[in-house]
Structure 1
């Protein structure tokens, strides 16, 4: 109970410490994964499936029962009590009171494999719930990385707008006449860009704070918006995705569960064999159980149940159809994941080339701007207008880097990677 009470406090303390120091991407992903509600719900699914596994295993154990009853009699003829009251034969000829104790043990000897298959299915369900937890963790990590990447992107846009606003304001301070008017208009435009960028950046920070349950604000990010080239080859990435994606591994357990369900449907025609023993103590004197004629009775039995079901064959046909549906779904999922990985790989490679071209174009435009400014230092109005061209090229570079980083995150997720190191 104390752990449950202190857990939110520890989480808030961790979030507060994260807000006090610059927050790196790995630390942010770690905090976001710990605070993801879907992940916490998936953890409870594991608890539920583990208990169901224990219940299924208990079917293989002897079923032991103890019962006792006290009956006050006023009978004109013998009677049998309902099962809820012990199912006992009562005869008023022995007295007005009947005291009884009973213990019985039943052990399933042969159930056609139904109990073992039920335990196998419960175990596969437990394994599948663990893979679902891993899937939720990967999804939470991807969401956190994308949020961190977007905030870095918004921070770069704000820094660029602030820098160009200062440069345009400086040009306006040295200009006069029409040049001053043009430079002032450009400076005002950059001021609006700065305000918009600041507003969006603050919203991104608020979204990050919500992911880690940080109510204090004051997040400071550590890191830069940089490209992340794909590592290895596409073929190797496809192999890695097939081995590591929890969805594909979960489909293996689903296939096993479909096979078990088909076996259980086929086993419905097999008999059940039980052995059991019952021991009864019945008396008509509560103090001493003095009437020994009916005290200490016991019985041992073997029972065979033959199930006769008219829907046995229809159930088999249904399970086979469901098994086929599962196979088709697994093929569809595998093709979907392969297609998503190829798309992310191509997107990351394209955006990497695009970012390189945008950087080269920005550097060339910046060099042309410096040469023109040194050649005509008095034309401050035209210089201020040219700043907008440089700004747009820098925005194009940041957008390419941002989209390339998103593609890299999606590529890592498609390979089953991306959890905090």
Structure 2
């Protein structure tokens, strides 16, 4: 009975802590005004100056593997690097930040797994939420992600081969294919900024289940090829190379993407590092704020040469002054790739088209293609 009583006490304490955490979160007001003001004074939160400092720190950590003596453990058993790292906040000020150590081996769903260091990106909405939490306002940071120690391929090439031809034909007959083709043929190589490379983010890998969850990323990769082919034909010169960054690509996926689409895969954050004013960016519902990062890293050029993404419908300030409600499932910010005032301005200055294929193939949803005009 003593043991059972102890368990009940522990459970009650956990419930109390959870309720306290919910109450705390529900009291957080998202403050976007100071974040937008910082952008107007210092530049986009995802500007290259901040990225370069984070990237140098990241490379130093990865190149000098941590020893046991370099790690400290907190009361909950979490491991952190002993030495704090230096990052820049949205004001360009240095911040000393403690980050978790990676390499911790655990069992997850019965499978051997380990923690792996990953980049963490805070969009203006997340920074607005962090503003009242006393957190450092560093848009580029690091966390850990649990991965299987023995990576397994999520699909078989022979399964894909049977469906790929059908999907390609359906893609060519779709309304969005026709609209995208006509739009690019009208503007590429003319009013549009020259494109030297195409960078894809979060298009997704393929699955053994050959339904929508596999057709969707397959068609999105085909869309990148269509963009490349039309731009190459319209602007002349060397054909733009396509690069794709997605942590879900496995060994088979990487080989398949290279053979099927002639794309080179990149590890995070190498795709972001490669961004410049002559880059065409393609991303559809990614789980990081690609649109804000893409503009921030290229703002000195007026943004990327082109952006094929979820449609830009506003300045992204809808959550300003609002709080979280985790019990109702609504948590601010509301999506993982929000818009921003800079993106809204980019749209107004671009040549663009928008289309929602949700009632048709639903391989993209409500998306837009935005082309920067030549200066």
- TM bin, normalised by shorter chain, reads under 0.3
Higher helix share: 1
Higher strand share: 2
| TM-score for the superposition, normalised by structure 1 | 0.19
Q: Which of these two proteins has the greater Rg computed from alpha carbons?
A: 1
Higher RCO (Cα < 8 Å, 6 or more apart): 1
| TM-score for the superposition, normalised by structure 2 | 0.21
